[in-house]
Amino acid sequence: NAGVMQNPRHLVRRRGQEARLRCSPMKGHSHVYWYRQLPEEGLKFMVYLQKENIIDESGMPKERFSAEFPKEGPSILRIQQVVRGDSAAYFCASSPNANEKLFFGSGTQLSVL
């Protein structure tokens, strides 16, 4: 029973490029959450999705960031025109139902040069 799978583990982008982060939730989980951890900071909520729907995106910057969780395939967090301040660890988590404990992936470390 595989856990939450995130890829890539490490992603290097130059300023202005696009970053795509993928997350496959645990089997049977239809709720996906994205969190960001900046150096020396805690986990900051970005977006909560449930199959094909964005439930809460209050933590996501209004520009350049978008997320989707299609009917088939992984959830994607997309960052357009990356800037150095986007460098962080991005964690995806899933749960079988809302308000249950979250299971986290190993994260994607994004480095913007």
Binding site for another protein (CB under 8 A): 4, 6, 33, 35, 40-45, 48, 55-56, 59, 91, 93, 98-99, 101-107
Q: Is 35 helix (H, G, I), strand (E, B) or coil?
A: strand
For another protein, the closer CB: 19 or 60: 60
Cβ neighbours, 10 Å, residue 23: 26
Min dist. Cβ of residue 50 to another protein (A): 9
Min dist. Cβ of residue 24 to another protein (A): 13
Min dist. Cβ of residue 36 to another protein (A): 11
Distance CA 43, CA 97 (A): 21
Q: Are the C-beta atoms of 107 and 22 separated by less than 8 Å?
A: no
